[in-house]
Structures are given as structure tokens and as C-alpha cells.
Structure 1
Amino acid sequence: MLKNYIKIGWRNLVKNKQQTIINLLGLTLGTVSCLTILLYVFAQLGFDEDFSNAESIYRVETIIERDGKESFDTAAASPPIAFALKEDFGEVEEVTRVVLTDVFYSNLIRAAENKESYYEPRSYMADSTFFKIFNFKFLHGDIETALNEPNAIVLSSNLANKMFGNQNCIGKAVIWGSGEDAQTLTVKGVFDEYFYKSHLNPNYIVSMSTPGMGTFVQTFDDFATNNFVYSYAKLVPNADADLLQKKLPAFINRRGSKNLSDAGMDNKQLLLKKVTDIHLYSEGRKNQIGRISNITYLYFLLTLAFFIQLVACINFINLSTARASKRAKEIGVRKVVGAGKKALMRQFLGESLLLSVFAMLISIPITIFLLPFVNELTQEALTYLNIFNWKITALLFGLGIFTGLVAGIYPAVILSSINPIKALKSATILQSGNGNFRKALVVFQFVVSISLVATVIVVTQQFRFTQNKDLGFNKENLLALRIGTNEASSKFESIKTAFLNIPGVLEVSSGNYSPSEIVLSDNGLYLPGGSREKNTIVKRNGVSDGYFKTMDIPILEGRDFREADTTNQIIVNEATLKAFNMKREDALSSKLVQSFGDETYEMEIIGVVADFHYASLKNEIAPLFLHKESEPNWLFLRTETKNYELLLGNLEKQWKTTVNNVPFDYRFVDKEVEKLYDEEKRLGKISFVFTILAILISCLGLFGLISYVAEQKKKEIGIRKVLGASINSVVQLLTKDFVKLVGIAFLIASPITYYFMERWLEDFTYRINIQWWVFAFAGGFALIITLITVGFQSLKSAVANPVKSLRTE
């Protein structure tokens, strides 16, 4: 019986070639889209799940409140909090701390036996308990003792191979840093960074007991300030994390009430974030240790995949029910000779499943072929092995079955319900209700298309807004060059002089933070006569004289830094004046105060600069003060050249002449600013590609549907033309119903899309306003595509010879 179903189904598919090709192409495009999106979504899932007892590991995050408002939130915490939790709560089995040293150290590292140094990102310091919580896969060394001693380092397999080649590097010496700050570390382990997907993703880890920053973290005992340490707690089996969370307010008050008071904090909340939730559920929490994703974007993509596949299914339903009359006599004969309704339904569902499974099989090699493009689009590193992951394979198989059932169930019900007597008498047996249902499905297709077009426009507009908005400084033709070491910092003036003599370099200055970098440094400041307990957190950046000229940031009041200035002379932005209710004209006669322990320092405001965006546009410009810095981390060069290859070559040559064994590490500031919006940019590209696919699938369905309608009305068109109807009137006859459907879809899609895009834009402090023309354009675009698709076939029917259509049976 099954063999018979398959044979009959195959014959029908081959017989109706146009319908089969349209359905197969639509289902294949839909399945390729779904498979691609599933591959990307699965790449974003499963972070940190492979660690032992991952469900029991939590990160301690921080929210600080001042004046009853949330003023600071971070994924990190103060240094002593982690081990205090272990001391105070029996449900905490183990804790560890991680410091992202990219912020504090140059990250210059080399094998002691070589002179070539590298800047390596994702460099951490961690407690000896780190691998007791995060059991990375070790390739060499003892995971139990790797970080127990001072000056120990554990390398990723990639970095170990880069520095030592294929030799076993356990016990080898590594030089970390340069000059007087250089430290000799001993390699105690090598781990496989590709074995687990983790938000940590370290390149190398230095033991926390190593002198320097590690000593500071281990001895610092203030529970309020210096919230830069990423703290993790592993709970005992079956511990209630929610119950522990409720105990944390009393804990922080008991341990750090005086620290909070001295720092001017009204309240400090400690939040437990399950480590498996960090990658996808950390939107809005600042100072993440690595790149995170957003679960909302994944939901959007999955929804997009669902609708694309649904549009393909709608094509199948519309074409199958529209062409039901073609199979009426076949169904009538089958019923007369004894075929039951269930048998017919199985037959038609079998045809649908056969087509769907065939589309599923075709989609696999197509997706593999498209993987390079997909990787470029999503910025992932997917391979064919991802497709044959058992979860993906199972989902793909399920998708094929589900698609076949969804696409085939309604046509199967309709076709199997045909009255055999009517079917044998006449080919025209479909009720008007079926036509209305097809119209509803077509409207749904248009709703999806119009919504997707409007979504792409809004996302693209917001991304362009972030690119083109006046950031308060000129990001174009601006180079940032990492100084990195004390040796290079000490030679800043000579480097500056040498660079200014190179053609194409207009200005040179320096600073501690490059634009787009997270400014972690801050101070609690207050006005003279005020209270340190009521201070205001102000971000801090150290710069050299000429910084504002290089950045093209206007000085509104006062002056730039001079050679004789100290850190007690500061320049503030407009947001700082607003925070202290200070008038611009009064700023130069004002001072701000900061306190450390028993010592108090007054800082003189010598200038006011316009607000500029030193962080993402998702965040409001925060108060900032700038001071003179003698040991900066970055060089900034304002350039003007048509030959950057020559300019960079000259800069590198001069750099290597002036500074020994320090890599020439540069970046274009405008490109770095763009990276702040990688997620939005990626979302826009993905939305655009799949919107085109959804519209293409819809057009395929419309083409097939109008082809059939034109065929059904062939005789009517012939009679009309014989009676004098023009080509224009015939085209209008065939297209007017579809134009009405586009209008109905426009009225439905516009408010729905507006609501969801407004919700998305709420994440941006600086954002566009959605204009009416976005929806008018989306509706007009859908109308034009419809007229082109439908009009082509309509015109073909309108110009056909009426004599042939009237004499053909």
C-alpha cells in the first residue's frame, strides 16, 4: 500500500510540473532559511553548559544605588565579596575570582627563549580555585595545581602553539609585560579552548597570587568600591539559589555598611546570575567579560524562520486547493471504486510529505555550499559538521515532517471531501469558502512581507543613525595606536615628535582609553563643603595636551592642558556640570573634591568640553572628567592621506626605530566604533537576506496562483476579447483582487510592525523616530512586486489569441 501511495504521488508530482517546481522551490528556500537560522541559533546556545555542575555555578553581579536611583551596574563585584560569601554561607561550596587584565596591563607576552612579543586579548588573572569550578579540558599539566603558585600561567592550546610550536611547554618561561614591570611566569598547563563554549574564553590565565594586580585583589578589603572583579560561586548540590539571593542584602550590610557609607552609596545589590544564562540573558548589564548575545534576537530569528517556512506552506496550500478541480475526476473515480476518505487523505498527505522530505534533502547540500556566505553574514565559524549534529539533524527531520503535514493537511481534507457524483459531472466543484480561505492565506503572506520590509528599513535606519550621528568627536581619519608598555609611555614625547614629521600626520596626542573602549575608571566627587557620603560617580580618563584638538572636541569654556598642569587640574564635560547643577559660566571658578580614606583632594576645573559619546549610543552620556596623564595607554593620530598603506608603513618603521620589541598595534577608530553595534548590524543583514527570501517565496506562490486563475478564466478572457475588451481591462480583471489583498495586508501589518519596532528601539538611548513613510514604502514595495508578478502572467493571458482559447477543450 505504501509503495502504491508513493508511486501515485510521484506520478502526480511529475505530471503537474509547474506546480511541483514552484512548491519544491518554495519549500527548499524555506527549509534552507530555517536550517541556516537554526545553525546560527544553536551556535549561540549551550554556553558554559558543559562544565561539571554548571547548573550550580553563579556569577555575582552588582547594582549600586545613589539618591534612590540606579547609578551603576556591572557584571563584576568588589574583590573581597567572593570569599566572604564562602565564609558566611554553608550553601556556597567554592568560589573563584577573575580579573580581566586587558584593562590594567599591556598584555605584552613572549616566550623567554624568543624576542618576538605579542598583544594577546582575553588575558585573565584567577584564583587557584578557578579550575575547581570551571573544569577546562587540559592537554598538558595538572589541572588541580596549575594556579596554586605565584607566577604561574596556563595557556590556551592556540597561544601555546603560537609561542612554542609543537613542543611541550610545561615548565617553560614566559615574559609578561616589559621594562621594570616585566614578570617571568612559568607555564603550568595548556588547555583546549575549543572543547567548551564559554563566556570566559580565556587566551591565558595568570595565578592571582602573582605580585602586582593579584596582590591588590587579594589584600583589598573594601566591600563597596573597585567593582571590577568577576566573582563566581559554586553552590552545594540541591542548594536553593533564590533563598541565598534573599540573604545577600543582609550580608552586604553586615560586611560593608561602613564601606558603603564612606563611598556615598545608598544601597548595593548583589545579584546571582546562573553561569549558563550569562551569554544570552545579560542584556543591559555593563562590563561583560566577553561578547554576549541577546535572547531577544534569537527569538526574532526563530520567528522569522517560522514565518518564512509558513509562507512556503501557504504556497503549497493555495496551489493544491486551487488546482483541486484538476483532480476531481480522479477523486470521483477512486471513491466510486471504494476508496475511503482516510485513504484519500493518506494519499494527499503522502504527496505533501514526499515533496517536503525531498526539499529537506536538497536543502542540506545547498546550505553546505552557502556556509561561507552564512559565516560572513553571522560572523560565526560554522562547518558542515554543525549540520550533522544530532540535534540539528533531528530538528531538520522534524521540520520536514512538520512542513509536509502543515502544507498538506488542509488540501488533503478538502480534496478527500469532494462529492464523487459532482466531481464526475463537473470539474468546477470548489465552494466559494475555499476561495476565501485562499485569499486569507495570501493576505497573511503579504502581512509577513510588508512587516519584514518595514523591519529591515527601521533596523537599517537605526544602524545608519549610529554611524552618522554626531558623536561629539571626529572619528574619521583617526588612528589609535596601542602604547602598551612603560617603555613606550616614557618615550611618548619623542614618538609624538617623530610621528608629526611623517607626511599625512596632522595631530598626535594620547589617552588612557580609546573611543569605543569601556571607561572603567571613575571617582566619587562632591562640591567643596559637601559630604563624601553624597558624592557623584564621575568617569575618569587621563589624556595629554592636544587631545581635544586631535579628537576635534570643542572646548566650550577655559583652556586645554599645559605642560605644567598636574592631576589636580581637570577638564569636565557638560554632563558633569548637569550632575552638579553647575552653570557653564561658573565652572572655571569651581572645584570638585574627592576623598581617599582620610585624605581629601581638591581639583580645579580649567575647562569645559562639549559632551561626546565615549561609549555606545545605547547609553546616555555620563559625567566625565579628564586629567593630565603621564603614562597613557593609547596614541591618537589625526591623519590626512590618500595612501594609508604608505602612511602605516612609515609609522611602523618609525615605531620600531623608537620602541624595541613592542608590536605596532593600530586600529581605525571609526571601525572600532562600528563594532559597538555589531549585533544590530548583523541583525539588519540577516533580516534583509531573509526578507528577500520571504518575498521571493511569496512571489513564487503568486505566480503559480495567477497562472492557474488565468487558465481557469481562459475562455472568459477569450469571450471578453471577442466582444472588444482591451488588453488593459483584461489585466485589471486578473490583478484587481490581488491589489485589494495587498491593501488589507498593509492595514494589518503596519500597526503590528510599529508596535514591535518601537519596543526594539527602547533599548537605545539615542534612537530614530519611526516615520509614516516606512510603512508606505513597505506597502508600495509589496504592491509593486505583486503587480510585476501578477501582471506578467496577466499580460501573457491578455495578449493570447482568443480563437485558440475558445476552441481548446
Structure 2
Amino acid sequence: MFRNYLKIAWRNLRNHKFHSFLNIFGLSLGIACFLLIMLYVNDEFSYDRFNDKADRIYRVNTDVKFGGIEQLMAIAPDPLGPTLKNDYPQIEEYVRFYAKDESRLVRKGSELIDEHRIVHADSTLFNVFTLPVVAGNSLTALNAAGNVVITASMAKKYFGSINCVGEVLEANRKHYRVTAVIRDIPDNAHFNFDFIFPMSDLDYEWGNFLSANFQTYVVLKKGVDYRQFNKNLRQVVDKYIFPQAKEIMQISSADQLNGGENKFAFTLFPLTDIHLRSDRQGEIGANGNVQFVYIFLAIAVFILMIACINFMNLSTARSAARVKEVGIRKVLGTDRQSLIYQFLMESTVTSVISLLFALVLVISLLPVFNQLASKKLSVFNMLDVKLLLTILVLPFLIGLGAGCYPAFFMSRFQPIKVLKGMTGTLRKSNFRNMLVIFQFATSAILIICTIVVFRQLNFIQSKDVGFDKQQVLIINGAAALKGKEELFKQEVLGINSVKAGTVTGYLPVSGALRKGWTYWKNATMDLDNSISVESWEVDVDYIKTMDMKMAKGRDFSKSFMSDSGAVIINESMARSLGYADPVGQKIYTGTAPDVTVLTIIGVVKNFNYESLRKNIGPLCLTLGRSNELVSFRLNTAQVGQAVRQIESKWRENIGDARFNYRFLDEDFNRMYFAERRIGKIAVIFAGLAVLIACLGLFGLATYMAEQRTKEISVRKVLGASVGRIIFLLSIDFLKLVMVAVILAAPVSYYFMNKWLGNFAFRSSFPWWVFLVAAVMCLVIAFVTISYQTIRVARLNPVKSLRAQ
């Protein structure tokens, strides 16, 4: 019997090629989109799970709030890791990362190469994370200063082989001995380093519980609940933070650090949640966003549902052509159950064939999708157990899910009524109309969301962020100048096309060098007059180079020797301090008894030094040395020529270091990479959703036109115009599309308004967005069905009536 079902199913597919093509093509597109997005989603959720102890590894986060300013940090004080290990038996191991090194100049032959994936780590690194060693000994690799662990790709790059243990590596003019080579860290890790130096090699003032600069990870012993363990961290604040805070901040009770107006708290955060659920100050790299993952997942499910609905609609619409087949088979003794099995077999066969075509599409489109999603996915990713199981089960779920309604719908026909003649099956299906509405409502939601995303991206590009990001050249690896940074800057400023220059690692974009610091208003520090702020060390030309504007006071100047004890604050800090006119006022910083007194000489207008997702926090600019980068503002249309002239000056000062540069606007755009990516993906998948929905609408219009050919012929004989007939055939579908857009409006408004809520600075959500979506959907629907409606409307009524 099964073989007979299969044979009949194949025969029906072959005999109705147009119907089969619409179903298979639509389902193939839907399944291919679903699988591509599932590959992306599966990869996003796989981050850091390659570690053997992934379910027991936690990062220690730090929350600090002083003076109404809250800082949520992914970093912790340097003594915290060892302290937790010593004080709590629940802690199996710890490791710390210090990842603030901007870069290191690594020598390869006669050339210095600027490398950025640098970190210092404890010798316990390999006891926490699973980083397989391919050469050397992990137990001793990081136990002494002067050692370095490198990845296999770096070993091949600098030594030509992974067998380089014992070789000497020169970095920043210092020599290090390679003690181990590890496999390249997987792409699905929230950190990715190429050079790991021992913590003992770090020049740092150790032992300060009030200064957070280290990513700190702990491994809990099996069976320990991290939520319960978090309660112990309050004791750490009382025992270690309070004594230092008491001396410096003049507080009398640890309760003053326990929430409310002021706060100092530690919490454990699961390793496997970092990539998608953490966006804190001090992240090692740019993380993903679980919200985007859920959006993509929803798009995948909706597109697959649209494709399945197409199958249901086209199958039930085609019922008018199969009613006699059902009637005859019932008269010949076929029971309803057998008919249901037959129709389910047809839908399953269609789904299996569609899956095969979909897999071909996935393989073909994977390189393009990787470029779009910035991934390195391959066909082998589909061999993941969960994903492979999904692929195997999917056609049967689709076959049953999408085939149930057509099967039960067509198997219920009564043979007597069928053989007497059955009509109107197509037009009387309210359920089918609901499915069409769902398809176009989903398409309208995607269109509206796409418009809103691109409006926000355009807003980001056009908003005045408080500085001019255009034509600012940033030169990496300035440490190679070794004290000649100012000389190099002055030589470059002699080039006519260079307007200004600055030497500093602090830039007004996410991912640049950052330093949190505490300032207070009175000579004696206490919690009530303390503010946690961003504190940047810049030179006298920084504000000029970034083209920032002064709100009050003046900029730094070489003419004023006293500026070494001066500070420029932004408008946000001025408000936090509460001064009507802060220029000339004193603020204090440092650690008792070495307290530094600074005079406010100016207030710079607020500028967005992080992405527009965040409000502008308080910021201080002080004169100091931060020589990681040199930046120049160009004033020419001949950018290429200017870059070559600057490179020439670079070679004159240091000939063995690569001249690596980038532009500030590139860094600025990189902050919104996720938004641009979701915008591109939304456009593509919204287009595919509309295409798949239109395939179904085209099929429905075809069957509708076939059913109503006699009616149309009669109307033409009675004098109806071609335009009137086109309107008559189109209006029913256009009504459904209009209802779909009306239903889509509040849903899309809710979700996109929630998405825009992630931005402290956001574009508006105007009413015309819904109008544009409505017009687009109506035009697309009309164009889709116009071919059939025009064809039928222009038929010769005599021939049509004679054929009937």
C-alpha cells in the first residue's frame, strides 16, 4: 500500500507540473532560508561551549555607582581572583586576563608587524579554558616573565612551523622565549588571542581592590549554584573593599557600599552567556546580541510558515480540479482514511524533494551568506547533531503540518455531490483567507522593520555626534616611535594637506582605550561628592584634531605651563558636579595621601564617545602621555597622496615597522556593524518572504481565474469592461492584503519601538512608514495577480462559453 501511495504521489507531481513547480520552488526557498538562519543561530549559541568546563566557568562582573553615575564592568580588581580561590572552597580555579595592551610590534625578519590580539594571563589559564597545546608544556608555559605562548597560525607566520618551542620572539624591542604553541582559538570564543604573555611580565601596581582592570574567571566545583554563591560576594566587599574605601573615601560603614545611592558589588556571570547577553565596559571584544538572534530565528520560522501556507493554499485551491478524482475513488470503495494517507504522502514527497533542492541552495549560497553575516560557516556545520536531526525531521514535519488541512479538506468531499458537480470550493474558504492574511501580515512586518532599521542607520550617520569623524587618519603601532611621537607629529604637520594631529590612544569610538577614574569636589573625599567618570590622557591638540567644540572656557594650550594641572570636562560632568559655572573650580583625584588637585579650564560640548545606544556619561580630559596611536586630520580631497606623504615621514623615523593605518569613520561605522548586518539580512529575507507569498498568491489567482472564466465571459457579454473585470478579480485579494497590513502595523510598532529603545539616541517612528508598507504590499500583490486577471479579462467570451 505504501508503494502505491508513493507511486500515485509521484504521478500527481509529474502530471501537474505548474502546480508542482510553485509548491516545490516556494518550499525550497523557505527551507533554504530556514536552514541558513538556523546555521547562524546555532553558531551564535555555540560560543565558548567548546571548553570542557564551560558549564562551570563564570566571569566576575563589577558594578560601581558613585555620585549618581553607575558603571557596569566586565572587569574586576587584580586581587579578586586569588582572594576568591583562597577564601572559598567552592572555587576550583581562577584565571585573570589583562587585555588592555593596544598592540605589540613583533619582528619578522627585518620588519616589525603590528599585532593586536595580545593578552597577559595567569599560569592557571590551561586549568580553566580548553586550549589544546600542540607543542610545549602547558604546566610551565606561563610561569615566568619572558615567556610567551602563541597560536599555531602565529608560529607558522613567524617561524614557519609549529615546532618553535624555545625560539626567541621579539615584541616591542624585548625578547621572549616561546614556551608553548596552542591551536588557534576557535572563532566561536568570546576572546581570541594570538600572543599570551605571563601575568608576571606585566608592569602593574598590584593589590588595589578599588581599581578594576582584569577580566577574572572562576571555575566552580561541581554542584555549586552560582546564584547562591553570588551571596558570598557581599562578604568580599565588606572584608576587602570596605577597608580601602574607608581610608580613601572617609566612610564609616560597609553598608554605604551596599546599593542605594552608592554601590560596589561583584557578581558571577556564566561564560556561555557572555557572547550574547553581555555588553559591559571592559569587554574583551565586540559581543553579539541575543535580541538579534531571536529576530533572525523568528524570521526563519515565519518564512518557513509562509512557504507551508503556500502549500496548503495551493493544495486546497486545486481541490476544484480533484473533486471528481476523490468522488470516483470513494465510489470505488476507497475510505477517507486511505485518501488522507494518500494526500499526506503527496505533501511529504513534495517536502522531501523541496528539502533536496533547498540543500543545494544552502551549499550554493553559503559563501554569500557568510559574507553577509560575517561568519565562517561551512557545510560541515550542518553535521551538528541537533541541526542534522532538524534537517532529517523537517520534511516530515512540513509534510504532515502543511498537508493535514488539504488532506482532511479534500477527503471530506461527498461522492454524490461531487459527481453531480461541485463549485465554489475556492471562494468559500475563510481559513484560506486567514492564511493569506497571515502571509502578507508577516511580509508587511518585515517591510516595516526593514524601513525602521534603515531609518535608524541613516540617523546614526547623519547625527551630530559632537566631533567630525571624516578624514581622520589613525596610525597604529605608534609605540615603535619610542619617544619620537611628538617629533613625528610635528614633521607630519608640515605637510600642507594635514590640518592637525594628536598623540593618544583614547578615541571617541567603542573599543578604543578606556580608563575609569574617580574625582571629587572637596579636598576630603567622601561618597557624597565623588563621581566615577571616564578619564582620558590627551595632548594639547586633541580637541582641535577631533574638531570638538568648547561650550565654556578654553582648550589646552602650550602657552600655559599651568595646564599640566588643568582639566577639561564635558557637559555631562559639569551637570554631575552641580556647578553653575565650573570654569576655575577645583576637583580632586588620586589616592591618599597622594591627592592631585586639578583646575577646570574648560567645558567641551558633549560628544558621543560610545555608540548611540548609550547616554553620554561624564568625561575628563587631562594632559598626559598615551602613545598607542597617532591621529591626523586631513584637509584634502587627495587622501591617497596625503597618506603616502605621511608614510614617507614614518619610514624616515622608523623604517622597520609596517605603516598600518585606518580612518576614524571606519571605526565609527564598525560600532554599528550589527545594525547594518540586520538591515541587510532584513532586506533580503523580507524580499524572499514577499516572493514566497507572491508565489502562493499567483497560484491562487490562477485557480480563481480558471474557476470564474464562465462568469467573466457572461459579464463581458453583458457589457462589462476589461478594467471592471480586472477590478472584480483583484479586489478580493487586495482586501486580504489590506487587512494584513492593518494587523501588521501594531505588531511591528511594538517590536521596533522596543528595538529602538536600545538606543539612547534614536530616530522617530513616523506614520508614513505604515503607509509605505501598505502601498508596497498592495502594489506587489496587484502586480502578482495582474497577469492572470488581465489574461482572463481579455479572453474571447464566445470561445470561453463554448469551451464551458
Residue of structure 1 in register with 2:252 after alignment: none
Task: Could you tell me which runs of 5 or more consecutive residues in structure 2 were left unpaired when the two chains were aligned.
Answer: 250-256
Residue of structure 1 in register with 2:214 after alignment: 229
Residue of structure 2 in register with 1:473 after alignment: 467
1:468-507 equivalences under 5 Å are: 468-485=462-479, 488=481, 490-507=483-500
2:184 maps to which of 188, 193, 203: 193
The whole-number CA distance in structure 2 between the counterparts of 1:562 and 1:488 is 24
CA displacement, residues 99-155 of structure 1 (integer Å, 9 cap, x when unaligned) = 10334xx422236xx332222222111111111111211111112221122221110
The whole-number CA distance in structure 1 between the counterparts of 2:438 and 2:162 is 62
**1:75 to partner: Cα distance:** 0.9
**1:594 to partner: Cα distance:** 1.2
SS in 1 for 2:135: strand
Give, as a single letter, the amino acid of the residue that structure 2 aligns with 1:436: N
1:99-110 equivalences under 5 Å are: 99-103=98-102, 106-110=103-107
1:803 lines up with 2:788 in the alignment? no
Aligned 8 A contact 2:52 2:129 in 1: yes
SS in 1 for 2:213: coil
User: What is the alpha-carbon root mean square deviation over aligned residues?
Assistant: 1.8
Residue of structure 2 in register with 1:523 after alignment: 517
The whole-number CA distance in structure 2 between the counterparts of 1:431 and 1:522 is 68
SS in 2 for 1:288: coil
Give, as a single letter, the amino acid of the residue that structure 1 aligns with 2:573: T
1:252-271 equivalences under 5 Å are: 252-262=237-247, 264=249, 266-271=262-267
The whole-number CA distance in structure 1 between the counterparts of 2:326 and 2:490 is 90
Report which stretch shifted further, 499-508 or 682-691.
499-508
Residue of structure 2 in register with 1:141 after alignment: 136
The whole-number CA distance in structure 1 between the counterparts of 2:573 and 2:524 is 16
Residue of structure 1 in register with 2:572 after alignment: 575
Per the alignment, do residues 774 and 263 of structure 1 end up closer, same or farther by CA in structure 2, a change over 3 Å counting?
farther
1:713-728 equivalences under 5 Å are: 713-728=708-723
1:461 maps to which of 429, 442, 455: 455
1:594 lines up with 2:589 in the alignment? yes
1:305-454 equivalences under 5 Å are: 305-428=300-423, 430=425, 435-454=429-448
Residue of structure 2 in register with 1:124 after alignment: 119
SS in 1 for 2:440: helix
The whole-number CA distance in structure 2 between the counterparts of 1:221 and 1:498 is 42
Residue of structure 1 in register with 2:275 after alignment: 279
Aligned 8 A contact 2:104 2:477 in 1: no
Give, as a single letter, the amino acid of the residue that structure 2 aligns with 1:493: E
The whole-number CA distance in structure 1 between the counterparts of 2:564 and 2:477 is 20
**1:510 to partner: Cα distance:** 2.5
Residue of structure 2 in register with 1:679 after alignment: 674
1:662 lines up with 2:657 in the alignment? yes
Aligned 8 A contact 2:248 2:525 in 1: no
1:550 lines up with 2:545 in the alignment? yes
Residue of structure 2 in register with 1:781 after alignment: 776
**1:489 to partner: Cα distance:** 5.5
The whole-number CA distance in structure 2 between the counterparts of 1:425 and 1:70 is 81
The whole-number CA distance in structure 1 between the counterparts of 2:556 and 2:703 is 78
**1:70 to partner: Cα distance:** 6.1
Report which stretch shifted further, 724-733 or 200-209.
200-209
SS in 2 for 1:205: strand
SS in 2 for 1:381: coil
1:72-91 equivalences under 5 Å are: 72-91=71-90
Residue of structure 2 in register with 1:709 after alignment: 704
Per the alignment, do residues 550 and 349 of structure 1 end up closer, same or farther by CA in structure 2, a change over 3 Å counting?
same
The whole-number CA distance in structure 2 between the counterparts of 1:173 and 1:342 is 78
- For this pair of structures, how many residues does the alignment match? 789
> Could you state the TM-score of these two structures normalised by the residue count of structure 2?
0.95
Give, as a single letter, the amino acid of the residue that structure 1 aligns with 2:726: V
**1:484 to partner: Cα distance:** 3.1
The whole-number CA distance in structure 2 between the counterparts of 1:799 and 1:234 is 76
CA displacement, residues 223-242 of structure 1 (integer Å, 9 cap, x when unaligned) = 2x221101111111222222
Give, as a single letter, the amino acid of the residue that structure 1 aligns with 2:762: R
1:208 lines up with 2:199 in the alignment? yes
**1:387 to partner: Cα distance:** 3.2
The whole-number CA distance in structure 2 between the counterparts of 1:194 and 1:82 is 23
CA displacement, residues 550-603 of structure 1 (integer Å, 9 cap, x when unaligned) = 2111123222222235431111111111110122xx322212111312122211
CA displacement, residues 170-225 of structure 1 (integer Å, 9 cap, x when unaligned) = 011112223xxxx3211111111255732122211111112524xx3xxx2222x2
Moved over 6 A (4+): none
CA displacement, residues 338-397 of structure 1 (integer Å, 9 cap, x when unaligned) = 212121111111111111111111111221111221111101112222234443332122
Aligned 8 A contact 1:481 1:665 in 2: yes
Report which stretch shifted further, 712-721 or 458-467.
458-467
The whole-number CA distance in structure 2 between the counterparts of 1:345 and 1:690 is 34
CA displacement, residues 276-304 of structure 1 (integer Å, 9 cap, x when unaligned) = 2211221x423211231112211111111
**1:712 to partner: Cα distance:** 0.4
Per the alignment, do residues 267 and 96 of structure 1 end up closer, same or farther by CA in structure 2, a change over 3 Å counting?
same
SS in 2 for 1:285: coil
Give, as a single letter, the amino acid of the residue that structure 1 aligns with 2:436: V
Percentage of identical aligned residues? 35
> Could you state the TM-score of these two structures normalised by the residue count of structure 1?
0.94
The whole-number CA distance in structure 2 between the counterparts of 1:207 and 1:728 is 80
The whole-number CA distance in structure 1 between the counterparts of 2:594 and 2:332 is 102
Give, as a single letter, the amino acid of the residue that structure 1 aligns with 2:227: D
Give, as a single letter, the amino acid of the residue that structure 1 aligns with 2:115: E
Residue of structure 1 in register with 2:765 after alignment: 770
The whole-number CA distance in structure 2 between the counterparts of 1:211 and 1:455 is 48
Task: Could you tell me which runs of 5 or more consecutive residues in structure 1 were left unpaired when the two chains were aligned.
Answer: none
Report which stretch shifted further, 163-172 or 440-449.
163-172
Aligned 8 A contact 2:452 2:765 in 1: yes
**1:512 to partner: Cα distance:** 2.8
**1:662 to partner: Cα distance:** 2.7
**1:519 to partner: Cα distance:** 4.8
The whole-number CA distance in structure 2 between the counterparts of 1:202 and 1:497 is 35
The whole-number CA distance in structure 1 between the counterparts of 2:768 and 2:564 is 52
Aligned 8 A contact 1:95 1:129 in 2: yes
